[in-house]
Amino acid sequence: MTTVVAVYTGQGLSERIGPLFREELPGCRLVNMIDDSLIADVIQAGKVTSSVTRRLIQYYRHAEEIGADIIFNTCSSVGEVADQARFMFDTPIIKIDDAMARQAVRKFDKIGVLATLPTTLEPTRMLLQREAEHQNRNVHVLDALAHGAYQALISGRPEEHDRLILEAAAAVAESADVLVLAQGSMARMEEALSLKTGLPVYSSPRLGILAVRDELERQGKFPCP
């Protein structure tokens, strides 16, 4: 059976990915690997540590042992590890935010990036800038950090999480052509942000899954049997 192994560094996102996966990839098998100590260690250190790198690569190895046709890296904060690991594995590694970055850079000149973690803000900025170089495009990236929003979400205060994101969006909306949500967990805010700012809003979960589907089609493994 065609198998996708999704690797998560925190709780919650798998609940959004699962329904999208069943919608876009019916008949395929999804296996979830979740280790929320990974993002906790990244937040504490303020960066991706060597320990986090080693553990993630071990999860990628486990994914191959399971028989993954694709490894789906779902955390933007550790995207640099996925980039490094692609050369170590025969199994393709798809990053959740690559397709989002490609579309945003292709269509817009001024890109506002919203994040709830500083450890995700800089990797997303770098991803957009690398994509702009790849497409030979000149884009301007604006940052907005919703301080405290991530902590509110994991503490069971989703309303506060949403309010802080809306406030952060106001700081960049007037200068941006599009808003890009740096974390998949922020996808719940896509419609509310678009209504408040009048801007198109890009989030990564569905676009990431569509990138997985494209790769499976390229391999001849979708539609899934």
Report DSSP letters for 2-60, one per residue. Answer: -EEEEEESSSSHHHHHHHHHHHHSTT-EEEEEE-THHHHHHHHHTS--HHHHHHHHHHH
Q: What is the pLDDT of residue 213?
A: 97
> Are residues 143 and 107 both part of a single domain?
yes
Query: In the predicted model, what is the mean pLDDT of residues 148-163?
Result: 90
Range of the domain at 135: 98-203
Q: What is the pLDDT of residue 225?
A: 74
Higher pLDDT, 57 or 188: 57
Query: In the predicted model, what is the mean pLDDT of residues 208-223?
Result: 96
> Are residues 148 and 138 both part of a single domain?
yes
Q: In this structure, is residue 225 part of a structural domain?
A: no
Q: Rounded to an integer, what distance in angstroms lies between the CA atom of residue 172 and that of residue 110?
A: 10
> Are residues 104 and 197 both part of a single domain?
yes
Q: What is the pLDDT of residue 154?
A: 85
Q: What is the pLDDT of residue 224?
A: 86
Q: What is the pLDDT of residue 182?
A: 95
> Are residues 38 and 135 both part of a single domain?
no
Q: What is the pLDDT of residue 167?
A: 94
DSSP 82-113: HHHHTTT-SS-EEETTHHHHHHHHHH-SEEEE
> Are residues 146 and 58 both part of a single domain?
no
> Are residues 80 and 125 both part of a single domain?
no
> Are residues 89 and 175 both part of a single domain?
no
Nearest to 80 by CA among 90, 93, 91: 93
Question: Of the given ranges (4-8, 68-72, 148-152), which has the lowest mean pLDDT?
Answer: 148-152
Q: What is the pLDDT of residue 153?
A: 86
> Are residues 65 and 121 both part of a single domain?
no
Query: In the predicted model, what is the mean pLDDT of residues 164-173?
Result: 93
> Are residues 144 and 91 both part of a single domain?
no
Q: Which residues contact 70 (CB under 8 A, 6 or more apart)?
A: 4, 5, 91, 92, 93, 94, 212, 215, 216
> Are residues 148 and 90 both part of a single domain?
no
> Are residues 105 and 188 both part of a single domain?
yes
Q: In this structure, is residue 156 part of a structural domain?
A: yes
Q: In this structure, is residue 55 part of a structural domain?
A: yes
Q: Which residues contact 102 (CB under 8 A, 6 or more apart)?
A: 131, 135
| Total of domains in the chain | 2
Q: What is the pLDDT of residue 6?
A: 98
Query: In the predicted model, what is the mean pLDDT of residues 71-97?
Result: 96
Query: In the predicted model, what is the mean pLDDT of residues 90-106?
Result: 97
Q: What is the pLDDT of residue 108?
A: 98
Q: What is the pLDDT of residue 114?
A: 96
Interval 10-69: pLDDT, tens: 888 999 999 999 999 999 999 999 999 999 999 999 999 999 999 999 999 999 999 999
Look up residue 142 and give its two tokens: 């604006």
Q: In this structure, is residue 145 part of a structural domain?
A: yes
> Model's pTM, two decimal places?
0.95
Averaged pLDDT of the chain:
95
Judge whether 75 and 193 are in contact, CB under 8 Å: no
Query: In the predicted model, what is the mean pLDDT of residues 76-81?
Result: 95
The SS3 of residue 72 is strand
> Are residues 77 and 126 both part of a single domain?
no
Query: In the predicted model, what is the mean pLDDT of residues 207-221?
Result: 97
CA triplet 8, 19, 38: central angle to 5 degrees?
A: 10
Question: Domain of 143: which CATH number?
Answer: 3.40.50.1860
